[in-house]
Structure formats: C-alpha cells, structure tokens
Structure 1
C-alpha cells in the first residue's frame, strides 16, 4: 500500500529543506515530495495519487499569483492546499481563502505554529491567521468563472497570459493547433472576455498587490 504523502511546492531550496525537516519531525507517518515550479507541481500531483496535502508557495516559476492554487483546486478538489507565503498582507490571506485554500501559513511562523496549522488541515479543519480584510465579490466572481475551465483550458489560459500564439501554445502543450483554437474560444466564452488581451488582464488580477 502506498504511503500517504505531503507535497511541498516552493522554489526556495533552503526554505523547502527547512519545511521538510519540520514535516519529518512532526509528521513521520507521511512521506514528503518536493516541487520547485508550477510544472513540477502538476507532474507530482499527476504521478502521486497518494498525496493528501499540498503546501504551496505562491511565487514559483510558471505561476501567476494565485494561479497554482486555483489550478490545483480545480483539478484535484479532494486535496487540501495550504498556502505558505512571505507576504502576510491581510488581503493576500483573504484572497487565498476565497480562492479555495484550506489554510495559510506565514513563512515567518515558528515550527510549532506551522505544525499546528498543518495538523488542523489534516484533521479536516481550516487554518488561517486572523484578518480584518473583507471578502471581495470580484474575487468570488473570478473564482467562479475560472472554476468553469477544464484543466487543459486552464493551462491554455496560462499560456495566453504569457502572450503565446496558438501555434506556440500547441507546441508547449503538445496539442493540435485547431484544438488550441477550440480551447481559446471556450475560454473566452466562459470567462466572459472579448479578446485574448482581456483574458490576460484577468489572469494578471490573480497576482497579489505586493510581491510574495
């Protein structure tokens, strides 16, 4: 039987190593896996169905703000995600919650606090620092529209946001160019966008107001 696994997705090797050390000490019953980019995060989730929790940094190569969180929640809704970030702004914490995270851990947290938050989420609870930031109807609407996208459409959208042409997207994702055209049409309709540029601006709104 495959061991239960925790996935640490963070592009900073030193922090990743420190967090994994905490996991080994506090949660020895779990295996740990690492990912350092949005691409390796997706590959790990696809290859390891035994993953029970993702610890996710927002600022990784290939990610745009909350895009990785939304992608994981859309493709693997049964796997809880805890955002771990150096950006502790109340608005960032609130947006993580609205976009489907099960918890938020500031990177400045002590090992004890990190372990407690992780245990809460593993127990089926939510774990967020107190924040006075209000929920945003715009974020709720955005999350609802993005939730309509299939995983493949979400990947195409990220390529659109990078300014890639259909031919380039087809090469990047291993798709036929006509298939990409069909996806783009569906994406614009679901997101209620009139152009590729408008869709790219929408993706940009996923980025926190300040750096993470």
Structure 2
C-alpha cells in the first residue's frame, strides 16, 4: 500500500521550490516530495517515478522554454497530472497550457491556500484554473492550428518531437527510448506528417513557437 501522495516539484529557484514544498506539506496524505531544478533532472525524476501523483512545473527554466517543456514531460508519463506554476499568468498562457494537457495552472503570486486548493482539485480528478480569469479563445490562428496538430500526436511521437528539439539524432533517440532506429525514423515521419512540415528543423521551429516565452526578453 503506497504511503501517501508523491509529488514532484520542477522549478529552478530553490526558494520557490521551498515555498511550494511548504504548501504541499499542508495537504492531508502527502508522502514524498521530490524536487528537480532543471529540465534534465525533471525528465530523470519523472521517468524513475511513474507512480507520482502530481508534477508541479515551472514554465521558465534551464533546458526547456515555455510550454515545450510541458509537452515533453507529459509525453514521458502522460497519465501523471501536471500543473503549471508560472509568473506568466496571462489568459493566453493559461489557456494554452490547459489545451496542451496541463491539469491545472497556478500563478506564482497565488497564496499557500490557493496552491493547496488547486492541488486538491487536480488530485480529485478536476482541472484547476485561477478563479476569475476569462480564458477566452485563441486569437492566433497559427497557434490554434499548431495546438490541434500537437494534440494529435501519440505520447511516443511527442517524446520523439521533444528529443528532436533537444538536438538528438535518430540513433540517440532510439537508444534513449530502447527501440530500433527504424522505429524512430517511422515516428519522425509521422510527426512531420501530423505537423504538416517537411523537415526536422521545421518541426523544431514549430514547437519553439508554442514554447517561446510569452514575454519579450530584454
């Protein structure tokens, strides 16, 4: 019998990880809280803990840009609910995160109680979005089309796309996923077809469009 909930916190700021840990510790039935400070560690932790109950994911951190990190991590164990925790809490970012499979969205300015409330909602099978925010509809037709295309990928195809974005070659992806290179070639072809592009480079550029930070970099 598992002893309590297992949570994974993915954020590159130790202070904020500490605050999230404090918030989670106040939830009844919490067991283990694992932490990752960058994208690579997050992948390793999630791969090794497929029994995790919930992942709390910051959108901006080393190794992943924006929503592409969510897409890649969800593909590892698509059954684990992921809640995005971000300072970019505009309606666009929230809506896109939820459309790309996040089970919830918590603003970094949320109170401890709001964080716990959102986590409880997701643990009980619901979707947690900040109260009082009108998510509206996607105004960028290209992004809307891209989200639909990304939603059509299987978890394995999504993982392959995420690894292409990291610059891995087919043989490296095959090694990582313990399958043959021929299988990866087939996955890459399917990904390109579903995204409506001709090359790996174009696929990565498309993914970076959804992944790019919503705020201009100074």
TM range (shorter): 0.7 to 0.9
Take 1:62 and 1:148, find their aligned partners in 2: how far apart are those partners? Answer: 25
Q: Aligned pair 1:98/2:102, yes or no?
A: no
Which residue number corresponds to residue 64 of structure 1?
65
Take 2:53 and 2:77, find their aligned partners in 1: how far apart are those partners? Answer: 10
Take 2:135 and 2:26, find their aligned partners in 1: how far apart are those partners? Answer: 34
Number of residue-to-residue matches in the alignment = 209
Take 2:121 and 2:182, find their aligned partners in 1: how far apart are those partners? Answer: 46
Which residue number corresponds to residue 131 of structure 1?
133
Query: Could you tell me whether the CA contact under 8 Å between 1:157 and 1:187 is conserved in 2?
Result: yes
- Could you give the per-residue CA deviations for residues 102-144 of structure 1, whole angstroms, max 9, x where no partner exists? 2111111111111111112222222212323422264453233
Take 1:35 and 1:108, find their aligned partners in 2: how far apart are those partners? Answer: 21
For structure 2, the 5+ residue unaligned runs are none
Q: Aligned pair 1:187/2:166, yes or no?
A: no
Deviates more, 1:106-115 or 1:124-133: 124-133
Pair 1:179–1:29, CA change in 2 (3 A): closer
Take 1:86 and 1:25, find their aligned partners in 2: how far apart are those partners? Answer: 22
For structure 1, the 5+ residue unaligned runs are none
Pair 1:26–1:50, CA change in 2 (3 A): same
- Could you give the per-residue CA deviations for residues 80-112 of structure 1, whole angstroms, max 9, x where no partner exists? 211100112221112112212221111111111
Take 2:168 and 2:128, find their aligned partners in 1: how far apart are those partners? Answer: 40
TM-score, length of structure 1 as denominator length: 0.82
Deviation of 1:17 (Å)? 1.4
Take 1:160 and 1:77, find their aligned partners in 2: how far apart are those partners? Answer: 19
Which residue number corresponds to residue 205 of structure 1?
209
Query: Could you tell me whether the CA contact under 8 Å between 2:75 and 2:159 is conserved in 1?
Result: no
Deviation of 1:161 (Å)? 3.2
- Give 1:12-31 correspondences, 5 Å limit: 12-31=13-32
Q: Secondary structure at the match of 2:64?
A: coil
Deviation of 1:181 (Å)? 4.2
Take 1:202 and 1:52, find their aligned partners in 2: how far apart are those partners? Answer: 31
TM-score, length of structure 2 as denominator length: 0.80
Aligned-residue Cα RMSD (Å) equals 2.7
Pair 1:208–1:132, CA change in 2 (3 A): farther
Take 1:205 and 1:107, find their aligned partners in 2: how far apart are those partners? Answer: 23
